[in-house]
Amino acid sequence: MNVINDNKLHGDPGIEAHELHHEIPVSAEGATPMQRDRATTIFEKGAAGRRAFVAPKLDVPEVDGLLPDALRRTAPARLPEVSEPELVRHYVKLSRRNFDLDTGFYPLGSCTMKHNPRLHERVASLSGHARLHPLQAPERSQGALELMYNLERALGEVSGLPHVSLQPSAGSHGELAGVLLTRAFHEDRGQVRTKVLTPDTAHGTNPATVTMAGMTVVKVGTNPDGGVDLDDLRAKADDSVACLMLTNPNTLGIFDPNITEIAKIVHDVGATLYYDGANLNAIMGKARPGDMGFDIVHFNLHKSFTQPHGGGGPGSGPIAVSERMKPYLMNPRIVREDDGSFDLDDHGYEKSIGRLRGFQGNYGCFVRSYAYICSLGGEGLTDASETAVLNANYLLAKLTEHGVADKLPLAFGDGCMHEFVLSGAPMKKELGIKTLDLAKRLLDHGYHPPTVYFPLLVDEALLVEPTETETRETLDGFAEAIAKILTEAEQDPLIAQNAPYTTPVRRLDEARAAKTPVIRQPLG
């Protein structure tokens, strides 16, 4: 067996050396240095008395009995006891057990893993932004308010919906805002509407949000082309419907050609139309939700506007709405005064649904996304969407060229917007490997796999979103890797079935974790 290069998690994965691993079981000690390095938490390291923190000196007269014993903690929290070098080494080593976008291709469908410019980290770290207290007086936070005002205007222009609130903390939070706005809109008209229509292709957050907002989900079917089934929509749209939540292009990567008709059906029964902005990266500068008839849209600043994903947060989910939804927006509102100064108005929207969180939203994300918009301008944003769509269609074509299409056919239609869904059903039937196996084998090739098993209505789904920031060479390499894995599976499906081999740990037993949950380090 060859020596495996473990300097990097991905780099050269030593695939050839591993092809026999299904025959020669990898020893419990592991094949790579990283695998042999058993996971040890920070709570299992260090020794009593070690510390990284030196408290500032007590510079005031010490007074006893300031806190009654009954309110006092009796035993300290058993936090780690490590020196700063130990701390640094522990977390740096942990970091090396992650795959990340800066190192490799990350075509995770629906997540828009585009490059995160480091300029954004630099400007967000300027003390005037990073150390600004959220309750600083408006006259002393003019730069922040101006930035937020400008970002609101830009998002309004991109979406075609002029009234923006930056407050929601994530896409899911923006959805909740949207559904609560819808509720307020109907209540204001003396109407009780409890049904929200969502297509069966929708993100799971849509139905979960609807329930949280005290409403009921009614599913709408998908037609053979991957769009909304209009007959089903007509049958279900009546005056008990509050809203239709839609993603367009949808999670199949298909732009619904009937959008104008859909909007008409929904508006004719007095309901609102909600746009899930998860796929906005496909249409910036090309089409706008507001022009399609949507009333509310949420943005994922961590997708289209390149706030780094941070391993799963932070995100930011501003919303933009039409004129008729405006009175219900969240307070406080940023206002521009006649003299050009900015203010925060706690009562800016009279019929506001209220607050959805503390303070003004994830300002640090606003700084990054605003910097991105400043860098690209309208033309650059349009270029981003054009290139995202070009890259997705090119990757799809390359896969077809490699003869992948018969094992992994496109689930709907014959083209795509910025992402596409393949079905692994033929691959599973003919080669005996599931989409999950393909995904795990891709890890050995140094790629993060696409989204798997979503959308739910596609059997063995593989949702691929390359984004605009990848080079043609990267797309070529990925298409070749998929082709290679399929060829390999034709010869021996066990290789993919037992993959991965080169990652810090091998395939993990998720059932066991759920059956007897261990969710914290036991301490002696």
Partner 1 sequence: MTQYTAVTDADLAEMLSAIGVSSVQELFDRQIPADVRLGRALDLPEGMPEQEVYGHLRELARKNVSAEDEITFLGAGMYDHYVPAVIDMLLGRSEFLTPYTPYQPEVSQGNLQAMFEYQTAISELTGLPVSNASVYEGPSAVASAGYLARLANGKPKFVVSRGLHPHSRDTLATYAHGFGAEIVEVPLKDGVTDPDAWAEAIDGETGAVFFQQPNFLGAVEDAAALASAAKDSPAVVVGQYDPIPLGILKPPGECGVDVCVGEGQTLGNRLDFGGPSFGFFAATEAYLRRMPGRIAGETVDADGRRGFVLTLQTREQHIRREKATSNICTAQALNALAGVVYLTWLGKQGLVDLGELLLQRTHYARSALVELEGVTALHEQPVVREFALDLEGVDVAAVIRRCQDAGVNPGYALGRDYEEFPNGLLVALTEQRSKADVDTLVEVLGAAIAAERSAGVEVTA
User: Which of 128/429 has CB closer to partner 1?
Assistant: 128
User: Which of 11/429 has CB closer to partner 1?
Assistant: 11
* 434 membership: H or E segment, kind and range: none
Residues 465-484 that bind partner 1 (CB under 8 A): 468-472
Task: Give the binding-site size for partner 1 (rule: CB under 8 A).
Answer: 212
Q: In angstroms, give the least distance from the CB of 407 to partner 1.
A: 20
Binding mask 428-447 for partner 1 (x = CB under 8 A): -----------xx--x----
Q: Residue 208, interface with partner 1 (CB under 8 A)?
A: yes
Interacting stretch for partner 1, rule CB under 8 A, among 12-20, 229-237, 288-296, 421-429? 288-296
Strands lying side by side in the sheet with 319-321: 163-165, 319-321, 296-298, 272-276, 241-246, 195-199, 216-220
Give the separation between CA 524 and CA 515, rounded to whole angstroms: 23
Residues 226-245 that bind partner 1 (CB under 8 A): none
Q: Residue 102, interface with partner 1 (CB under 8 A)?
A: yes
Q: In angstroms, give the least distance from the CB of 432 to partner 1.
A: 18
The residue from 247, 250, 304, 360 that contacts partner 1 (CB under 8 A) is: 360
Interacting stretch for partner 1, rule CB under 8 A, among 232-240, 320-328, 370-378, 482-490? 370-378
Give the separation between CA 327 and CA 355, rounded to whole angstroms: 14
Q: What are the DSSP calls for 224-278, one per residue? A: TTSSB-HHHHHHH-STTEEEEEE-SS-TTS---TTHHHHHHHHHHTT-EEEEEGG
Residue corresponding to tokens 């190192």: 103
Residues 246-275 that bind partner 1 (CB under 8 A): 249, 254-255, 257, 259-260
Is the distance from CB of 116 to CB of 308 less than 8 angstroms?
yes
Neighbours of 311 (CB within 10 A): 8
Q: Strand 420-423 and strand 195-199: pairing? A: unpaired
Q: Residue 448, interface with partner 1 (CB under 8 A)?
A: yes
* 101 membership: H or E segment, kind and range: none
User: Which of 430/464 has CB closer to partner 1?
Assistant: 464
Q: Residue 370, interface with partner 1 (CB under 8 A)?
A: yes
Q: In angstroms, give the least distance from the CB of 236 to partner 1.
A: 15
Residues 308-347 that bind partner 1 (CB under 8 A): 308-316, 330, 346
Q: Residue 95, interface with partner 1 (CB under 8 A)?
A: yes
Give the separation between CA 10 and CA 198, rounded to whole angstroms: 39
The residue from 11, 33, 204, 403 that contacts partner 1 (CB under 8 A) is: 204
Does 314 sit behind a cis peptide bond, omega within 30 degrees of 0 on the bond before it?
Answer: yes
Q: Residue 297, interface with partner 1 (CB under 8 A)?
A: no
Binding mask 58-87 for partner 1 (x = CB under 8 A): xxxxxx--xxx-xxxxx-xxxxxxx-x--x
Handedness of CA 238, 241, 242, 245 (dihedral sign): negative
Q: Which two tokens stand for residue 324?
A: 């008729």
Q: Residue 491, interface with partner 1 (CB under 8 A)?
A: no
Give the separation between CA 459 and CA 421, rounded to whole angstroms: 10
Residues 117-176 that bind partner 1 (CB under 8 A): 117, 119, 121-137, 140-144, 146-147, 154, 157-158, 169-173, 175-176
Give the separation between CA 272 and CA 266, rounded to whole angstroms: 7
* 483 membership: H or E segment, kind and range: helix 472-491
Q: Which two tokens stand for residue 257?
A: 């050609």
